[in-house]
Structure 1
């Protein structure tokens, strides 16, 4: 079976121009891909008799975008065929026969889509549409053309903001509330597919809250026809409001198969506002490493529900300054409940920088509220954090919970490149049939906490297991560091036999 890939393409203008006189089969072979997504209002509505009135209303605000750049070699600007495509060899032969492979640098053009959001000329598109461009030209529905300047980009959400100077006010569209969109709602996508010019397609919202690869992903999935060149174009609800920016498609062959993705407008509007005001994004930063509270972790911690974000580590930063600790469970942030890691990440990103916000945590079974003054993520991401804690421990080994663990001494720490001040139990062997192995523990992992208490000696871990059993717990929560990255793992203690380790 062919592989399926998520693609974020833009159309090569020169290739489209050459191929317009060829067969439809040849046009498909260009490996055209891009992303479009539909979404509709939050109330029930029957299928319209026609989309003509809506298309007439919104078309003047949709634009075609042509970018120009100098590339190092012709392959950088040529058609990008999906791996294993049956058209790959055909098009290589076609390009060679037509002498389209000169040596040395050359200028390349690419096409995409966008939409006007203000009468004074601000335009939204995808970052990948304009990335690396030396020149950006906007073609309006009327046929007029204007040069655009880049205001700012956000690669994390693949959004870019452009600006044109127009002698007259421009027709524009407004953003709608993507949270009102429901699966099954009608949506309309507009753009410049395959370089053919302004085009309209309709479909429904197939799914919501899709993630592809980014931290802030919130995609609407649609079955509206999406092809290369549509990237950056708008996805409209039936009220003519933009509820998504068409970004990617899932396809085994580079063409539309009815699985398209559009970045939700409630994400886009925040990014656009920041790009418009600052020319860059300014996201909040809490300064913690976190993981989801899974059912087994919740049981091990004695939590009633498996919700919230479990802190695995607190490096230097706002959270540490405010007294947050590893093992705390964040249940509310800035007045809103926290369901999971993804939820908290978005809430923090949207929170004001430099202002104190209330963070509600569960610590040792009790609820506490901590005021945290957030930093800026863009600045924090450039910094390197060094984690240190505790004192060296005495060497000893034992077989516990399907693992052979040893107390970490200076010599072993130096051998493994571990900070000599770090304390914990080093995993030197894991039984392949054990639950610990199934949950990802491996040789070289370092257990620094058990039952939310530090472990330095083998006896510390034995005591935590005994306490868990006495308390009626079925599992024990371990804080494990793999290559310096912490995570919590809940391991059953019901058959956690303890014995001297093998030499």
Structure 2
């Protein structure tokens, strides 16, 4: 009897220890990042072959397909567009895709998603779940479960959703930096309302920008369209989209959105997002969001519910032979800095207008997607090393990225005070300076004072006709419109006009 009691006690203690250990592990895994959960899951099954994998896709398809899900969404049937003519005008202004807004929002739509963790975190496209009233996920075992949105981001077209389920099949996240043009890839999803479909192709290009997200951001909201109808006012837009797609000729069709692009080893390298087509169906050009960019965005969703994006704080222009010739510079590759945001990371690091960004963390860049994707993976406070060319000499600068809140505060602080000034009050007219005039005085921009009205401000200050004005209130001017825009505000409420003439440089400051 005593022996039985000891056995029972040992079993009880062992069971309690096991349950306690399980609960501790469960609590620990709940606080893990998506990447940590992936590492734990796949630690016992490391990859044995390269990213390119084997030519036989059977194993990769078998591993991935169960973890790619069908997403069905329902929408409100309310909402209608205005008359066709004004709508077409707005589409043209915003760079729309040629189609007219539907008379009613779709009652139902579908897309795809990729399970990242066994407890139900699923990545898909923002446009798959945007404005959805209800999101349902059909799993590989045909169960239909409701999902909630954890976070979504129009700038990258990514969304993270969550279903309440356990022991789900998972796709292993790979490394999109290792993807090579020409390597085999598989696209897995639910195109054209078909069941799980796998197509094969190759990587056709990397870091491809197609402008689709920028065009989406230019589309007016219902409220803006109604205001446009009342007032004729067209709202302004800032394009903050990040596009650095992996291009593939694997067949991607409507319904594939949010599905998996995997290498031949069955590792997730991209989230299928778009096609380039004149017909609306596959014509051989599909585009996927690189998983290395997605990792950062998804972790932000899980931690904050939104993206915490870091900014360098510059505007730039991609260099090529034509741009180089226009700007009279020798470099034909890199990004030409056209503006520096006051209070931004670049300004603090000493980057100036006219600098050329050549490398990011030692890697050469040629186009905006090269920079945008790398910065898109970082957060406010992170440091990035930029190699810039200034006056033909390269130098490295360390830039600490600033967040949107910091830049907004700086913008507010530097917005300036009203001057109440206009061109009419100045009593002058302006015309763009010719190339020969700018070359003569060694300046890159400016307007010529073409006339001065007797008795008005310019005349009373003896500002001469023929002066080449380069800046007003610190803002470069190239046209009368630029002058009009620069006049209303300044940091101290005063007007400052800088220019150059036959007798040298001029600066006039007045209230």
Q: TM-score per shorter chain, which class?
A: 0.5 to 0.7
Residues 1:328 and 2:355 are matched in the alignment: yes
What CA RMSD, in Å, does the superposition of the two structures yield over aligned residues?
4.5
SS at match of 2:499: coil
1:421 pairs with one of 469, 473, 497: 473
Aligned partners of 1:75, 1:195: CA distance in 2, in Å? 27
Aligned-residue offset at 1:140: 0.4
Unaligned runs of 5+ in 2: 1-48, 83-96, 214-240, 418-425, 439-446, 464-469, 487-496, 506-511
Aligned-residue offset at 1:69: 2.4
Which residue of the partner structure matches residue 67 of structure 2?
Answer: 61
What is the TM-score normalised by the length of structure 2?
0.61
Q: Which moved more, 1:401-410 or 1:199-208?
A: 401-410
SS at match of 1:347: helix
Aligned partners of 2:163, 2:170: CA distance in 1, in Å? 13
Aligned partners of 1:161, 1:41: CA distance in 2, in Å? 28
Q: 1:255 to 1:362 in 2, by over 3 A?
A: closer
1:335-359: CA deviation from partner (whole Å, max 9, x where unpaired):
5444444433333333342245444
1:191 pairs with one of 189, 192, 204: 189
Aligned partners of 2:430, 2:58: CA distance in 1, in Å? 77
Residues 423-502 of structure 1 mapped to structure 2, 5 A cutoff:
426-427=478-479, 456-459=499-502
Aligned partners of 1:108, 1:394: CA distance in 2, in Å? 58
Aligned-residue offset at 1:142: 0.6
Which residue of the partner structure matches residue 160 of structure 2?
Answer: 161
Aligned partners of 1:323, 1:160: CA distance in 2, in Å? 36
Aligned partners of 1:151, 1:246: CA distance in 2, in Å? 20
What is the TM-score normalised by the length of structure 1?
0.62
Which residue of the partner structure matches residue 343 of structure 1?
Answer: 370
Residues 1:175 and 2:173 are matched in the alignment: yes
Aligned partners of 1:273, 1:242: CA distance in 2, in Å? 16
1:253 pairs with one of 279, 296, 302: 279
Aligned partners of 2:184, 2:292: CA distance in 1, in Å? 18
Aligned-residue offset at 1:367: 4.5
Residues 70-109 of structure 1 mapped to structure 2, 5 A cutoff:
70-72=76-78, 108-109=107-108
Q: 1:240 to 1:162 in 2, by over 3 A?
A: same
Residues 1:354 and 2:352 are matched in the alignment: no
Check whether the contact 1:302–1:365 (CA below 8 A) recurs between aligned residues. no
Which residue of the partner structure matches residue 448 of structure 2?
Answer: 406
Aligned-residue offset at 1:126: 0.6
Q: Which moved more, 1:57-66 or 1:105-114?
A: 105-114
Check whether the contact 2:199–2:251 (CA below 8 A) recurs between aligned residues. yes
Aligned partners of 1:84, 1:298: CA distance in 2, in Å? 36
Check whether the contact 2:191–2:254 (CA below 8 A) recurs between aligned residues. yes
2:310 pairs with one of 284, 292, 297: 284
1:4-62: CA deviation from partner (whole Å, max 9, x where unpaired):
xxxxxxxxxxxxxxxxxxxxxxxxxxxxxxxxxxxx9654854x3xx444332222101
Q: 1:74 to 1:314 in 2, by over 3 A?
A: closer
Check whether the contact 1:174–1:241 (CA below 8 A) recurs between aligned residues. yes
SS at match of 2:113: strand
1:311 pairs with one of 337, 346, 353: 337
Q: 1:460 to 1:178 in 2, by over 3 A?
A: farther
Aligned residues: 372
Aligned partners of 2:339, 2:177: CA distance in 1, in Å? 32
SS at match of 1:456: strand
Aligned partners of 2:99, 2:322: CA distance in 1, in Å? 43
SS at match of 2:473: coil
Check whether the contact 2:472–2:483 (CA below 8 A) recurs between aligned residues. no
Aligned partners of 1:395, 1:70: CA distance in 2, in Å? 54
SS at match of 2:156: coil
Which residue of the partner structure matches residue 475 of structure 1?
Answer: none
Aligned partners of 2:431, 2:64: CA distance in 1, in Å? 71
Residues 1:234 and 2:260 are matched in the alignment: yes
User: Which structure has the larger Rg?
Assistant: 2
Which residue of the partner structure matches residue 22 of structure 2?
Answer: none
Aligned partners of 1:67, 1:367: CA distance in 2, in Å? 52
Which residue of the partner structure matches residue 207 of structure 1?
Answer: 205
More helix by share: 2
Higher relative contact order (CA 8 A, sep 6+): 1
Which residue of the partner structure matches residue 272 of structure 1?
Answer: 298
Unaligned runs of 5+ in 1: 1-39, 77-81, 86-91, 93-100, 429-441, 448-453, 464-503
